[in-house]
Amino acid sequence: MTLDELGTPLRDATFVVVDLETTGGSHLDCAITEIGAVKVRGGEVLAEFQTLVNPHVSIPPFIQVLTGITDAMVASAPRIDQALPAFMEFCRGTVLVAHNAPFDLGFLRSGCERLGIEWPRVSSLDTALLARRVLTRDEAPNCKLSTLARVFGAGTTPDHRALHDARATVDVLHGLIARLGNLGVHSVEELRTFTSLVPESVRRKRGLADALPHAPGVYLFRDGQGRVLYVGKSRDLRSRVRTYFTASEGRRRMTEMVGIAERVDPVVCATDLEAEVRELRLIAEHRPRYNRRSKFPEKATWVKLTVEAFPRLSLVRRVLDDGAVYLGPFGTSRTAESVMTAVHEAIPLRQCSKRLSVRTPSSACVLAEMGRCGAPCLGHLEGESVEAYALHADAFRTLVRSDASAVVSALCSRVETLSSTQRFEDAAVARDRLTALVRSVARIQRIVSLTSVDELVAARPTATLGWELVLVRHGRLAGTSVVPRGAHPIPYVEALLATGETVLPGAGPLPAATAEEAHCVLRWLESDGVRLVRGSWASPAFGAQGLRAWLGLEAAHVDPFRDQRSLRPFDRPARAS
């Protein structure tokens, strides 16, 4: 789950309540004859919009009787290409509201498509749907606009004229909002997701969110015995937790979790990055029953080049301080096996699992007979010597640490050969293996470029013209702080260095943090506006990261540290001849 955006309080939201009259019920072959809308905010009417529209077709007699709009009335009215752009400008930056919204919004969307007008990214509400979920049958036998207008005492009687119906819908909307406010619905986001399908036993627990602050951080749902059930993060703890008790939760396990929860503990964080990292650490520590990701980072799989006279590739779970080269981590063994197969197709490393002796030759396997292995098992007289075989191991080390071009070139040639012989399925499999290999190599090179740095301090401007400070040691987030607007940052940097977590690095490419935490830090460091304050950081000049464009991946050029050095070498320097 990503960090949630702050909710928009209902009192601050601007709504445009719209109603249309049309020549029929389908937006595919019918046209708009009238648009009426009312713009409201905080219970007050700001403006109204009303216009007839010339549909350039005859209005059916039934529709003329129903709406009172005749062909003569619309003969001199604006065309849709004049009326619709004006209305879309009227509702810019607002929340669109309609009674039976799919009908009205369907006509508006269809009209925009025909005119080449981009449909704005606006929220929408359906008062009919809200009414079905708020009112009982005793209060309203149906959810027609005329019925709801009577229930809420609307000041305008709906009569199938657009502006009149829009005015009546405004009163219905305000009546529904008043009802929902008593149920803890106070933002546009909560209003859009509200449903009475939330069990009453869950809705009664909305008070658990009242003590939480409006601040970024991490929240922990706990049961009656204090056990952590679920860990999440948000930019606004109170607003996010409240949605668990008022919003429609499609995930059955989450509804079950909220029903069990007895309290919610907040962990307020200085920055979004701190919240993201703390969430990962708390999930790994408590392994909550209802979190599905990040609970078992130790179960990741690695491809290891063993340390012996004739090294081979092996799938392992643990990274040891044994001088071996590791590629990973992989979420599944299947992906790791696919990558290992790709390496074997390009580098003739032995694939047998037995330990070979330099002094005692043994028999060769079928791969040696096929020419896919140099048969070091036969000894240097018949097979490869230690020195010759070491070139293959060095090729793998070069692939993982610095330069993937030789292996990628060999695998590309294999894909082309398979394609040219019309072995298209085999070519597709080889291509997918190559893609997985390049992605994994690019990932480990990015991680190592960060984890190999002893200490790094970076800063990013905040929306309030201050600075976020981040301290990273061996890839682990060691501390964060915020410099207020106008304050000199150096004292804050010195304080962060003095109070930051002491990190003692361990073994392997992830000496102090999980891969997910390192990725979180990397995303933050590569975001717009970040500047290095202490330390240096660089990726391999000929690393696999530069092959992302070849793979068709998202590879937008980001150069946040222009004053020091580029982090992602998409513009590679020329290779020395």
Q: Give me the DSSP letters along 19-82.
A: EEEESSS-TTT--EEEEEEEEEETTEEEEEEEEE-B-SSPPPHHHHHHH---HHHHTTSPBHHH
pLDDT over threshold 80, residue 563: no
Exposure on the CB side of residue 430, measured as CA atoms within 13 A = 21
* Options 99, 160, 214, 519, the catalytic residue: 160
DSSP for residue 60: P
Same domain? For 158 and 253 the reply is no
Same domain? For 138 and 32 the reply is yes
Same domain? For 205 and 173 the reply is no
Please provide the distance, in angstroms rounded to a whole number, between the alpha carbons at the two ends of the chain: 48
Q: Which two tokens stand for residue 297?
A: 């980072």
Per-residue b or e along 223-253, where b marks 16 or more CB atoms closer than 10 Å to that residue's CB: eeeeebbbbbbbbbbbbbbbbbbbbebeeee
Handedness of CA 316, 320, 325, 331 (dihedral sign): positive
CATH, residue 137: 3.30.420.10
Same domain? For 361 and 483 the reply is no
pLDDT in tens, 282-322: 999 999 999 988 778 888 899 999 998 889 999 999 999 99
Q: Which two tokens stand for residue 313?
A: 């590739």
Same domain? For 207 and 164 the reply is no
Same domain? For 333 and 254 the reply is no
pLDDT at 399: 94
**Residue 541 falls within a domain, yes or no?**
yes
pLDDT-derived band of residue 175, with 50, 70 and 90 as boundaries?
Answer: very high
Better pLDDT: 355 or 28: 28
Residues spanned by the domain of 371: 299-401
Question: Among the three residues 295, 314, 338, which one is the final residue of a domain in this structure?
Answer: 295
pLDDT at 576: 42
How far, in Å, are 142, 150, 161, 312 from residue 158 at the CA level? Answer: 15, 10, 7, 79
pTM of this prediction exceeds 0.85: no
pLDDT in tens, 335-353: 999 999 999 999 989 888 7
Same domain? For 273 and 303 the reply is no
**Residue 435 falls within a domain, yes or no?**
no
Same domain? For 21 and 98 the reply is yes
Number of domains in the chain: 4
pLDDT at 29: 85
pLDDT over threshold 90, residue 89: yes
**Residue 444 falls within a domain, yes or no?**
no
Of 77-81, 467-471, 547-551, minimum mean pLDDT range:
547-551
**Residue 440 falls within a domain, yes or no?**
no
Same domain? For 467 and 481 the reply is yes
160 is an active site residue: yes
Same domain? For 96 and 244 the reply is no
Pairwise CA distance, residues 481 & 24, whole Å: 60
Mean pLDDT of 112-125: 87
Of 134-143, 159-168, 271-280, 525-534, minimum mean pLDDT range:
134-143
pLDDT in tens, 186-220: 888 777 766 545 666 676 787 888 889 988 999 99
pLDDT over threshold 70, residue 368: no
